[in-house]
Amino acid sequence: MSRVLVVDDHPFMRAGVRLILSQEGFEIVGEAESGLAAVEMAHELLPDLIVLDLFIPNLDGLGVLEQLNAPVSGFKVLVLTEQSADHFSSRCMKAGALGFVSKSSDLNELASAALAVMNGYTYFPQNTFSSVPCAVMEVSEARRIASLSERERMVLDQLLQGLSNKEISKDTQLSSKTIGTYKSRVFAKLKVRSLVGLSQMARRNGLL
């Protein structure tokens, strides 16, 4: 279970992050309201992932990234902010963050980003990589696959084997309705509309 430190000065947002990530199996080990507290708690708790807002008291998010020296220290930092991706995503990436998610997005995107980062991928808006458009598609598909939860990945594997919802249900002892829900999540996260599209994406990424 990956351990997470949440850094945001809004209690409501911290509660939302805690709820979303807990549902995906993450353990919230600490919450910080300011940049200085975040740096101190990061060194004390040594979390696997830090979810970091940019505009926080005492020391802003970019200052926290500088203090943590993430590229050298190994801290995995995912930025969650109201600030514009156009202006801040590339700065965060250069400062050592591994992902950038806007608070204006569906919070479920936070879960996708956190899972991607913990699986060794980066998660940034495509405009961050505007100078390398060919790399964007590869990173985007890889990070979408990496964002799947363990249960979603299991359903994906069985779909790729050609099993029906009913067969997967019998194999996993989950209801067909539950399997249908996981299948819909897989399609949504991978941005495919059919089993054919799923199969094509799987082949492009070495899953078949």
Q: Hey, what domains does the chain have and what are their CATH numbers?
A: 3-127 (3.40.50.2300), 148-204 (1.10.10.10)
Rounded CA-CA distance 11/24 in Å is 20
| Lowest mean pLDDT segment, chosen from 18-27, 38-47, 94-103, 197-206 | 197-206
Per-residue confidence band for 201, with pLDDT thresholds at 50, 70 and 90: confident
Helices (H) and strands (E) in the chain, counts: 11, 5
Taking a C-beta distance cutoff of 8 angstroms, is the pair 79, 123 a contact?
no
65-88 residue pLDDT tens: 999 987 778 899 999 999 878 788
Per-residue confidence band for 132, with pLDDT thresholds at 50, 70 and 90: very low
| Lowest mean pLDDT segment, chosen from 51-55, 78-82, 118-122 | 118-122
Q: What is the DSSP letter of 126?
A: G
Structure tokens at 150: 């363990």
| Distant-in-sequence, close-in-space partners of 59: CB < 8 Å, separation ≥ 6 | 34, 35, 36, 38, 39, 67
Rounded CA-CA distance 14/51 in Å is 10
| Distant-in-sequence, close-in-space partners of 67: CB < 8 Å, separation ≥ 6 | 35, 39, 59
Structure tokens at 48: 């696997």
Per-residue confidence band for 140, with pLDDT thresholds at 50, 70 and 90: low
3-state secondary structure 16-67: HHHHHHHHCCCEEEEEECCHHHHHHHHHHHCCCEEEECCCCCCCCHHHHHHH
Mean pLDDT across 33-37: 96
Rounded CA-CA distance 174/176 in Å is 7
64 has a pLDDT exceeding 60: yes
Rounded CA-CA distance 130/136 in Å is 8
Mean pLDDT across 35-61: 95
User: Which residues are bridge partners to 3 per DSSP?
Assistant: 27
pLDDT at 136: 42
Global pTM value: 0.66
The angle that helices 176-190 and 133-146 make with each other, rounded to 10 degrees, is 160
pLDDT at 131: 38
